[in-house]
Chains A and B, each alone.
Chain A
Amino acid sequence: MVNPLYLIIISLMAGFVLPLLDRVNRKLSLATFIGVLLANTVITGFWMHGFIQADLGTLSFSTAGFTAPLSINFQLGILEAFVLLAINLIGLLTGIYLLKKFNESPLAGMILFIMVVMGANGLILTRDLFNAFVFMEILSISTIAIITLKRTNESLSSGFKYMLASGIASIFFLLGVVFIYFFSGSLNLDFININFTDYRLIAVYMVAIALLIELKMFPVNGWALDVYESTDAGVATIISVINSTAIAFMFYKIMPLLPSNFLYIFGIIGALTYLMSNLMGLKQENARRLLGYSSIGQMGLLLASIIFTAGLEPVLRIMIVGGFFLNHLIAKTGLFWISGLIKKEKLKDWRVIRSNKSLMIMFGIFIFALSGFPPFAGFWAKWEFVKSLLAGQNILIIALILLGSLFEVIYMFRWFIQTVKGEYKEDELSIMPSGKVILTTLLGTLGFGLGILIMKNYYGFNFLFTLPILSLLFIYLIDFLPAKIKGIMSLGGLAYYGYYLYTLVQFENPIQILFGVIFLVGSGVNLISTLNRSEISKGFYGLLMMMIFSFGSLLIARSYLEFFLSWELMTIASFLLILRGKNAQKASLMYMIFSIAGAYLMMVGFGFAPELIGSSALITGLTYVQLPLISIILLALGFMIKSGVLGVHVWLPEAHAEAEADVSSFISAILLKAGIWGFLLVAISVVWNAPQFDVYYWMGWLGVFTALVGAFLASFQEDAKRLLAYSSMSQVGYIIAAISMLSHLGWVSAFYLSLNHMMFKSALFIAIAGVYYRTHTRNMYEMGGLIKKMPLSFISVLISIIAVSGVPPLSGFGSKWLMYSSFIERGWYLQAAVLFFASAVSFLYLYRLIHTIFLGQAKYEHKDVKEAPVWFIIPQYIFIGAIMVLSTFPNLLIKPLSAMASQYFNSNIVIDGYNVYSSYGHWNGNLIMLVTMGVFIVPLFFLILFIGKITKVKQFNIVYAAERPESPQTTHVAHNMYAHYRKALGGWGKPRIWDFWHGSAEWAHTMGDFFRRIYSGNGQTYLLHIILFFVVVFFLGV
């Protein structure tokens, strides 16, 4: 093992020798510069390798021929090696990134850079407190000096502020260190063996506070923001990554000295920093400063994780802290680098990034990584961290962190969406230096690879769970192919996947097969409609397959983590798919925010859940554990958010409406079912162990009102897709309510409805997609009379809406019958009445849908409209066919569904031939079909026989006050069709939930704006913050 002193020696020698070399040749000094950084990286790499190969424990290296505590010693363990490797690697890469800059500026820049890295290395390695002080000074002085690499008023003044703050911090640190020596008689961390209680506390307190200041904790971090904003991108990187990491590591080293109550407070400060800086970031419009807020937040998170993982086993601790660290390291480095390439201050000007495809992808990767999405390290870290915090009952910390994380997601994704979707002019194009772009790409790939590494090696995930990611990558590679080829390949892949799951994985539970049909067969049929894409559709199939395979993974997940992983992958894919829509900025952002909020609820919910026994699929595994109430509530809420339950439904119409036409059907018909699947899993566990009827009673009400409100909202829409979206919300409400009943019949009806909804909603969305494809509008009042142009679409819509409405004889009635029977049987009478009301209201929107599009007066501009493309027609008729078959032979479905539900409940429906008996009534689908056909045929024949001569008339030949109407626009009753009803509802018709969420968002922004006023820009105010922070935190702790 190479002596770690060499890290210092090499850097110092280089530092001293560079001024001489530079006299000879600048090239030489540049080579030396890179050589030193490379040597550091290689050395640390060897250590890491050595530590991975063999468990060497921690090695101590002393100086001056004496052992510690006489002399200063360095300690090298796997942790040190890991952190050192990471920061030296970033140092090397950033050094390369800055090479051009260094070539043009004075030599001092390079030396200072080396010294920053050396200071960080020394700070991490040393065990001597005073030595740490020296290295800290090296670190901060070199950092401050290098800030002026970019020479502006701003960077100078921010450097000065930094100096003042770090000056005070170093005074505290020095005093603290000396007092520690005075009280304990040693400066070496390994030999300090007294407790710092009573008045001695101040010694360690001062050291800790100094580190917190240097770590830029809230609120003593105003100067740091200025620095991030004003300095060169590369320098900001090393401050954010190298500098902060070294200090965080130092904090880790002095942790054993700190009393536990203070540690707790520092942990809270860390979490609070995370929350506050992200809250304040909401209002930020300057990209660099935003990254500054984010950096500071991440440091807070890192600090909190260091403190609150103290009791964990080392490997897990490394997973958590190391995960956050790596994530921050890579994402923030990448983002800062990109900011250096973009050279735009305003967030919205970043759209020029679109001129460079790979940079844009990297930007996305870094943002996803920073937001804690799989497979990046932050995801795993957050998962384990929340779990461990829960084990320690630190609810407050979880709340702070998750809320902070949510804010971070909000501004990061707002930025991302703005960047990816914003219009940009060609002349804004800027040519990016390709070397730096490659470097950034390398970094992004590294981050991605690391995540995959954790996934494969630490957790040992099955191939199936990496499939979503792999498919994305694979299709990205063949993205140059035409859409049809990719589509057919996807279809083939999906078919094989389904076959593979069915035959080889072998479902443990028939319910899995049901949802497999919904997820995979449904997706497969829906996929046909995407074959209509004629262009290349870059990126589309990759994301689509990623989403579909994630559905599959959800089905077979065997642990909470597998489930959550697949869930998050699904969220990524669906978010990006929605984002593809033309005006989907707002929609996709809302989708992301709500998804993340839901995911966090789930994460906490899973954290509370007891460990699973064995490795069977979740649907079996969950039956062996008893979920605590809190877990049930959180999980159910998380899943309900994804399903768009009342109160959190606001994302749903936007996402459905703004997504591309053939994507909406996936979202509505299948994605919402993923929420249902999760909700069902929780319910299964509950049913099997201790039925929590109270909670589910209220969830039932929630579902019922979702159904009602969804139906009303759907009735008041002008936009066809929005109407269908609210209709989906309404239907999901039925399903949620039915599952919440926790009864046999309830579940049968929920299953029945889930499958039915998948079919008819797919058909409807695809039909509307066809209409949109032809008419280029989603506003129903702009259509009309299309029945003559698009008869096939009309028929499929007709049959679908009959199925939705539940009018006999189609399969919809089956679900209604099961539903009401189960509600009455379960004793949920009022709920049943509300549902009945909801389904009556649903006629309003269904009629509106079919009438305003297909009936009434045709518009002139649609006179050349043709039938929808065949690729849209095929899947519709597959679904329609399935609906017809299941309507005629309902037992095909009822029997297996009943069997599924009777795994958990005593069956109380009897199936006798075509008769289905519940304890309240009966229903014979076959006979109904026959009678209906009979009563339909009789008047039909009568009419055909006796009608006499039929005269066909032209469009406007109607009895209209003896006048010919002027135009279809005035004659087609479509706009605001149910105005009376809206009026009748009065105050109930106001969009209160929208107002609530808007208000909340507004409030958060106002709060962020309010708090960030403390950063007055005045260096002296920042000093005052520091002093007051010192005082207040001390008295809080005491």
Chain B
Amino acid sequence: MINKLLIIIGIIGMLLILLPILVNFQSPTNLSALAEEYVRGSVNDLKSPNVVTSVVVTYRGLDTLGEVTVLFLATLGVGFLLENKKNKSTQRTVSENIRTTSSFLVSLIMVLGIYIFTHGHLSPGGGFQGGVVIASGFLLLILSDLDFKISHAILRFVESISGLVYVLIGLIGLVLTIGFLNPAILPLGKYGDLFSAGAIPLIYSLIGLKVGSELTNIIATMGSDRSSESVVKEER
């Protein structure tokens, strides 16, 4: 009972603390100086129409690298915790119809995913969204085709290589002394083109691949069946 009361007090307290922000909230009428710089710079310096992409990939590229790392870590953690044994073959079958339809859908989804991350600098979306789309494609495959086995090795490989290349691209900038993750290592190209904005599309693609493989990995790991007798060794 006291517990409940304390919870209510806590929540009300938080409300009271946050209230002044709401009361004093004024919607700004102008962009902050920094945002203005970004908007201008995205056009002038990076030749990337999607300002958010410019910010994510270039200006705050380190964040994005970190973010990919977080996802990578989550994948690792999930894998680390759920040391999977061999999948148990289930007897359930899926109709042939579903199987073919889904494989058709999957190829469409893949194409969509690739489109999203390669056009990240031009239109909404980018590596993450594309990656998720790819992952959802695999999800569909897993759901529809129970015999479908994703090779963790390949996933790992894609994940590792894309991550490595991502870092290496950043490194090139550092070696050229124009800055870590500077997309200007490639020609900036013409504003609005697919192959423009320097290395942004490349980076976003790598991110897409990496995110896609990581998420697929998570899903695959979590979804995979685990025989109940696989008891993980306990340390004591």
Contact = CB atoms under 8 A, between A and B. Distances in A.
Contacts of B216: none
Interface SS, A side: helix
Interface in A69-91: 69-72
B59 to A, nearest CB: 5
Interface string B72-84: 1110110111010
B228 interface: no
A782 to B, nearest CB: 50
Contact of B34 (A3, A70, A126, A150): A70
B115 interface: no
A567 B11 CA distance: 53
A202 interface: yes
B190 interface: no
Contacts of A64: 58-59, 61-62, 173, 179-183
B98 interface: no
Given A64-B59, A130-B63, A179 B21 contact: yes
Contacts of A13: 164, 167-168
Contacts of A923: none
Interface string B146-167: 0000000100110111011001
B235 interface: yes
Contacts of B161: 16, 20
Contacts of B60: 71-72, 128, 130-131
A135 interface: yes
B14 A16 contact: no
A16 B160 contact: yes
B34 A62 contact: no
Contact of A12 (B10, B69, B157): B69
A1000 interface: no
Contact of B70 (A108, A141, A179): A141
B230 interface: no
B66 A131 contact: yes
Interface stretch (B1-9, B89-97, B104-112, B120-128): B1-9
A1034 interface: yes
Contact of B18 (A9, A202, A1027): A202
B59 A138 contact: no
Interface stretch (A109-117, A525-533, A712-720): A109-117
Nearest to B164: A16
Nearest to A1020: B3
Interface string A139-159: 001101100101110000000
B233 interface: yes
Nearest to A203: B21
A1031 B6 contact: no
A885 B116 CA distance: 105
A469 to B, nearest CB: 41
B178 interface: yes
Contact of A199 (B20, B73, B236): B20
A36 B232 CA distance: 30
Interface string A1-20: 00101101100110111011
A1031 B180 contact: no
Contacts of A131: 60, 62-63, 66
Given A63-B180, A72-B63, A131-B63, A185 B32 contact: yes
Interface residues of A, number: 63
Interface string B209-236: 0000000000000000000000011111
A202 B38 CA distance: 27
B156 to A, nearest CB: 5
A907 interface: no
A152 B182 CA distance: 45
Chain B interface bracket (under 10, 10 to 19, 20 to 34, 35 or more): 35 or more
Given A65-B173, A109-B80, A134-B67, A202 B167 contact: no
A144 B77 contact: yes
Interface SS, B side: helix
Contacts of A17: 160, 164
B224 to A, nearest CB: 16
A23 B83 CA distance: 17
A1024 B7 contact: yes
Given A12-B65, A66-B41, A70-B59, A186 B179 contact: no
A1031 B9 contact: yes
Instruction: Identify which of A13, A71, A179 gathers the most chain B CB atoms within 10 Å of its CB.
Output: A71
Contacts of A185: 32-35
A825 interface: no
A145 B167 contact: no
Given A16-B163, A106-B83, A131-B62, A141 B7 contact: no
A112 B173 contact: no
B80 A65 contact: no
B43 interface: no
Given A64-B182, A145-B80, A1024-B7, A9 B174 contact: yes
A1021 B7 CA distance: 10
Contacts of B3: 1021, 1024
Contacts of A65: 173, 178-179, 182, 184
Contacts of A109: 80
A180 to B, nearest CB: 12
Interface string A217-260: 00000000000000000000000000000000000000000000
Interface in A999-1022: 1021
Contacts of B181: 63-64
Nearest to A232: B235
A485 interface: no
A97 to B, nearest CB: 17
A869 to B, nearest CB: 54
A199 B23 contact: yes
Interface of B: 3, 6-7, 9-11, 13-14, 16-18, 20-21, 23-24, 32-35, 37-38, 41, 45, 58-63, 65-67, 69-70, 72-74, 76-77, 79-81, 83, 153, 156-157, 159-161, 163-164, 167-168, 170-171, 173-174, 178-184, 232-236
Ranked 9 nearest A-B pairs via Cβ: A1031-B13, A145-B77, A65-B179, A65-B182, A185-B32, A199-B20, A16-B163, A134-B66, A1027-B10
26 contacts: A8-B62, A8-B65, A9-B174, A12-B167, A15-B163, A16-B160, A17-B164, A19-B157, A20-B161, A63-B181, A64-B173, A65-B179, A70-B37, A71-B59, A72-B59, A112-B77, A128-B62, A135-B66, A145-B76, A151-B233, A152-B236, A186-B32, A1024-B7, A1031-B16, A1031-B17, A1034-B13
Given A6-B174, A12-B167, A151-B232, 17 more contacts: A8-B65, A12-B65, A13-B167, A17-B164, A19-B159, A63-B179, A63-B182, A64-B61, A64-B179, A66-B45, A118-B69, A151-B235, A198-B24, A199-B21, A1021-B3, A1027-B7, A1030-B13
Interface of A: 3, 5-6, 8-9, 12-13, 15-17, 19-20, 23, 62-66, 69-72, 106, 108-109, 111-112, 115, 118, 122, 126, 128, 130-131, 134-135, 137-138, 141-142, 144-145, 148, 150-152, 179, 181, 185-187, 198-199, 202, 1021, 1024, 1027-1028, 1030-1032, 1034-1035
